[in-house]
Chain A
Amino acid sequence: MSAEFSVKSPIQSDRSSPLRFIVSHILRHPIAALLLVAGAFSNAYLAGVVPGAVGDAFSAVLLNNERTLPLVWNSVLLIIASQTLRSALQFARNFSAEVFAQRFERDIRDELYSSLLGKSMSYHDMQPVGETMARVTNDVREMNFMMNPGVNLITGANMFLIMPAIYAPGIHPQLIIVPLFFIIAHSLSQIYFILRLHPIAQQVRHSFGRMNASLAESLEGLEIVKGAAQEASEIDAFNSLADLVSDRFIEQGEFEARYLSVLLFGLTVVLALLHAATMYNGGAIGEGDVIAFLGLISLFQFPVFISLFSSARLASGYASAGRILEVLNASAKLDQNAAGNRGALRGGIQFDRVSFGYDGGEPVLSDVSFRALPGQTVAIVGQTGAGKSTLSKLVNRIYDVDQGRVLVDGVDVRDWDLQALRSQISIIEQDIFLFSRSVAENIAFGRDEVELERIVESAAAAQADEFISAFPAGYDTIIGQRGMTLSGGQRQRLALARAFQTDPPILILDDSTSAIDSATEDKIQRAIWSAASGRTTLLITHRLSQIRWADHIVVLRRGRVVAQGRHEELLRSSESYRHIFDRYSSSDAALPAAGG
């Protein structure tokens, strides 16, 4: 069980838990990590120099004699020198955090992207593109913000939090009491707030999301709203959601207004003054020391004002890491079976009592049996949701059956080498994807250095040459650039041209295009008829003319085969099939009715 694709030197990380994942990424950049912590520490340490210098200046001012000015001058020099150095270190801290954050983003995106490329189609099929995009873009971005400003400020703030406790004993050992009190009280208040605030903030986001969704729906469906004269009920519904958002917003604001660390800080200043004054009166410290101590206490302001914001960043980064890990750790279930059958394929397909449900859930297909001989065209018909597309995904093993067997050339698909099987089956899906490259590259996709002549040949067979040649840049036209949009029918014909290039023995075509005019329909018909000729074709289509002339028609209803055979047989055996053509024959009475 190896991944379908892996990068040469993949990024190794510990994927067992979000925390370990984050730590393992941090450890990839030990120098930046060291610089971040060292920068943060020395930044805070040097910030602690200022109160001492101010205290010294204060003592000098109190002397009030000729020595005052030289002493104050010393303090001034100390302040400027230490703060310049501090700024340099703060820059080191900030920039290391930035390097960290950007590398986090780059590496995790790379890791995630490689992992996505390695996952089988069964994974991608189940995952909406929007979901995957959200992981690779938003969640990766969150990881960036988690490092900077998140980790950066938390580290910085915590250094400021411990610094007074480091400096104060230098003035007098007893002075450690008040800083310690604040550190403990603030930490407790912090934990309490984060735990309580998180669910409130989530509710705010949730209610906002609901309001947005409802709003978008009402305005996008405005024609229906107005047509059904339902403006009043839409307004009522929106108003109650707007009130809900407002209530939640107020709830969060009210809770934030209670932020206790602000009060704790104010009280700590009073306590500090009380303690220092008492010791000053007892003669244990001087006036300058009191001022220095008060200055140290004011260092607490930084953690008080920054902690809530940076913890929120940490929390959302952590949640993102969890979501990213979900993708990284999702396994691709199919096994390559590289030792399996790898011969050239002739094109016989047989479904033998096949049952299948996604993830083993409700069966989407039950007991389906039919056979396509090499070169035949089999039309699969039925209502949306009858299981047509699912059936087509069992042939090249995008999914494996739950019961029964799918045989290709008489060999169970699970006994084929996956690579050999898939490379000989071409699938054209409902939504046809084209890369933003030239038309020629899209047709030749996957094969280097194909002669233009061969590409034009394929395009012509797919009835695409005419519209391609009409582009100013012809085959060099870049798809998707500046208004270069293609209709569904044109995309389908480009995909058919691609299939002509690889010339597979089996073609699976999920055709859901519709032509507005008859001339275009003629072209699509011609392209499909040529594509189907000379190879086994499973055709999921709404086109009556394709169904009418298929070698074999399988009618699915709720995942079961309710009828199969040629057109004439089905007209006899299936009521709903007859109903389709009934309507046409009656309404077409004026025209000569041929056949059936």
Chain B
Amino acid sequence: MAAIFGGLQGDKYDRQYGDAALFRRIGRYMAAHKWLVILGLLGFLLTGMARAVRPVFISAAVDEMVAGGGALALLLAVMTAITVSEYIANYGRRRFTVVVIGRIVARMRKDCFRAAIERDLAFYDRHKTGAVISRVTSDTQEFGDVMLLGSEVISQFLSVIILLSALLSYSLELTLILLATMPMVMLAALVFRHLARIVTRQGARAMAVVNDNIQESVTGISVAKNFRQEAMIYDEFSAVNILSYKINLRRGLIMSLVFPTMGVLSAIALSIIVWTSSHSVLAGAFSAGAWYLFIQSVDRFWFPFMNLASFWSQFQQGLSAAERIFALIDAENTVVQRASRRLPNMAGAIQFQNVSFEYERGQPVLRDFSLDIRPGENVAFVGHTGAGKSTIAKLITRYYEFQAGRILVDGVDARELDLTDFRSRLGIVPQQPFLFSGTVIDNIRYGNPDASRDEINEIAYGIGHGEWLESLPQGLDTPVGERGARLSVGQRQLVSLLRVLAQKPAIFILDEATASIDPFTESQIQDAIELILARSTSILIAHRLSTVRSADRIIVLRDGAIIEEGSHQRLMQNGGHYAELYNTYFRHQSLNYVERAREMFAASAQ
């Protein structure tokens, strides 16, 4: 019943794969469970037969009873046997079906996940992570549900077909009349589906308005309370709540009509059969038992046809879901490695040779870009947003494919490296540090799962005497929560840096956070950064003055080109673009600014 309502609310998606290709592909998944599929089909067949012959036997028994024949006991015994075997066959059918579907869905999920994790980051620029996630979980789920539903409808039709052949053997004419009533059912189901879709959409919209209203007032409740405005926001809520009630009641009115209407139609169909088949009996065409068989058949026909009409759009959705799943699996990467060379003792020299790169066709970010970074050198990149700072880091990590030129790592073309080996030698801290749920120590170990607890302890307590661990109730064993939510931004950044320290990479890539961090944690972050800088070649996309100044070389970028480079002192003296950037981004981070704050601002406050 729920499924019928669900079916009434369907929607349609665009298609890319041909039906044949789609079914072949699904068939391949099923082929992996060949024997289970065959067993399941056997169950289908047996169930369908049992369901179909039951009414036949009942009418035969009625005939026998009326005729006063002696075979009644035998018929009853056969019916008992049929009932029991139907139950067993049905059990087998459902059981094999869920095993096959369960395994296929799991296989699809695994294939999807592998595909999702292997896609390069350019893919995720075009597709939202949330949408990809829903392909792995919801689309596979939907596909499984539809397979289950489909198997149910197929099973019903199987017994209809078997029953149909029995009916045909009694009377062609009556069978045709019975079938003729079916379009009526299907038409009614289609009309309701259409109506339901409209009112359901309205209902959902009204719900969304209520939810938005609640979301906002619950989030802002402290403001409402501080200003004692509860009555006002209650009135607003009450208005949308009542509106939503009215709209959803209208939806309910339509939905309440579905089954009563079907009931009337069913009664009409039954009456037609009762009336016409009585004529056949009178004409001596067949027995009273056969008459009764036709009467019983009305319901049995009715249900599958109604289901088919209700579920049609759901089948389409299931196929679209399969399509989206295959589209994810088939998506191609732009980053392609030509060889898999390993660099066992990577020194960390990086060379850009005439590299050109664009995210979007026709909008180059780097043009003919060349740069040499010596092993162990610490290079800070500064420039306005969009100057190309992060792009350089993303090309070194091979997250994106460049269009021209070469990037060499220790003299080897980056396209010829074994990516897994290469990346395990990179220590990356993105602008939004990301932690995995688990404990602090799990996260520090992430890039180097073999690190011993002692090693981690040494690293963790080496920074500010482990002061940052004080607010964590279980120290290193504190769970960080989903995405590290239980830790502050500063703590998350520290953990990311410690992760790099534990990994001991040849190349350190830091995209510094811009978030505000308390000065105590910040000074510990600085300590950690300095430790890493001493050990690796470093690519710093700096937002903090102190980080910029700890670099060996500052590279000033504008529109994807290097326009200045050198030390902080020299660049300041030059008075060029760097001096301008300093005034725009770093001036307020200097001690000078702190010391002059009162002079600058106190007067204006009076």
- Main secondary structure, interface of A, reads helix
Contact B137 A212 (CB under 8 A): yes
- Main secondary structure, interface of B, reads helix
Question: For chains A and B in complex, what number of residue pairs have CB atoms within 8 angstroms?
Answer: 461
Contact A266 B597 (CB under 8 A): no
In-complex Cβ contact of A547 among B113, B221, B519, B522 (8 A): B519
Given A149-B1, A277-B65, A542-B519, 11 more pairs with CB closer than 8 A: A58-B288, A99-B252, A118-B230, A227-B447, A229-B421, A383-B468, A518-B583, A542-B516, A542-B518, A585-B591, A593-B595
Across-interface contacts of B261 in A (CB, < 8 A):
87
Question: Chain B CB within 10 Å — which of A246, A426, A522 has the most?
Answer: A246
Q: A221-B434, A223-B121, A518-B587 are in contact. Are A98 and B253 (CB under 8 A)?
A: yes
A7 and B235 alpha carbons, distance in the complex (Å): 10
User: How far apart are A442's CB and chain B's nearest CB, in angstroms?
Assistant: 9
Closest to A447 in B: B227
Assess whether B205 is interfacial by the CB under 8 Å rule: no
Closest to B465 in A: A576
A80 and B272 alpha carbons, distance in the complex (Å): 10
In-complex Cβ contact of B113 among A110, A116, A235 (8 A): A235
Contact A148 B252 (CB under 8 A): yes
Assess whether A83 is interfacial by the CB under 8 Å rule: yes
Contact B238 A110 (CB under 8 A): yes
User: Quick one: CB contact mask for A71-113 with B, threshold 8 Å, 1 for yes?
Assistant: 0110110011011101110110011011101110110011001
Contact B521 A384 (CB under 8 A): yes
Closest to A592 in B: B592
Across-interface contacts of B453 in A (CB, < 8 A):
none
Across-interface contacts of B264 in A (CB, < 8 A):
83-84, 87
Contact A385 B488 (CB under 8 A): yes
In-complex Cβ contact of A216 among B133, B249, B279 (8 A): B133
User: Quick one: CB contact mask for B314-352 with A, threshold 8 Å, 1 for yes?
Assistant: 000000000000000000000000000000000000000
A258 and B516 alpha carbons, distance in the complex (Å): 60
Contact B257 A91 (CB under 8 A): yes
Of the stretches A159-167, A184-192, A267-275, A368-376, the one at the interface is: A267-275
Contact A385 B472 (CB under 8 A): yes
Assess whether B24 is interfacial by the CB under 8 Å rule: no
Question: Chain A CB within 10 Å — which of B68, B102, B219 has the most?
Answer: B102
Closest to A59 in B: B288
Q: A105-B245, A246-B103, A446-B228 are in contact. Are A587 and B545 (CB under 8 A)?
A: yes
Closest to A448 in B: B232
User: How far apart are A549's CB and chain B's nearest CB, in angstroms?
Assistant: 5
Assess whether A466 is interfacial by the CB under 8 Å rule: no
Contact A580 B221 (CB under 8 A): no
Assess whether A506 is interfacial by the CB under 8 Å rule: no
B residues 562-578 in Cβ contact with A at 8 Å: 568-569, 572
Across-interface contacts of B238 in A (CB, < 8 A):
110
Contact A215 B113 (CB under 8 A): yes
A463 and B211 alpha carbons, distance in the complex (Å): 34
Across-interface contacts of B594 in A (CB, < 8 A):
544-545, 548, 584
Assess whether B126 is interfacial by the CB under 8 Å rule: no
Q: Name 13 A/B residue pairs within 8 A (Cβ), A-sorted.
A: A68-B278, A84-B264, A90-B263, A98-B249, A102-B252, A221-B483, A227-B427, A383-B468, A384-B491, A385-B472, A544-B519, A584-B594, A591-B591
Q: Is the interface on chain A under 10, 10 to 19, 20 to 34, or 35 or more residues?
A: 35 or more
Across-interface contacts of A525 in B (CB, < 8 A):
597, 600-601
Q: A61-B291, A522-B588, A595-B595 are in contact. Are A80 and B222 (CB under 8 A)?
A: no
In-complex Cβ contact of B292 among A58, A106, A267 (8 A): A58
Assess whether A588 is interfacial by the CB under 8 Å rule: yes
A583 and B550 alpha carbons, distance in the complex (Å): 11
A579 and B520 alpha carbons, distance in the complex (Å): 8
Contact A306 B221 (CB under 8 A): no
Assess whether A473 is interfacial by the CB under 8 Å rule: no
Contact B271 A79 (CB under 8 A): yes
Across-interface contacts of B263 in A (CB, < 8 A):
83, 86-87, 90
User: How far apart are A206's CB and chain B's nearest CB, in angstroms?
Assistant: 14
Closest to B272 in A: A76
Q: A223-B121, A269-B58, A533-B606 are in contact. Are A58 and B436 (CB under 8 A)?
A: no
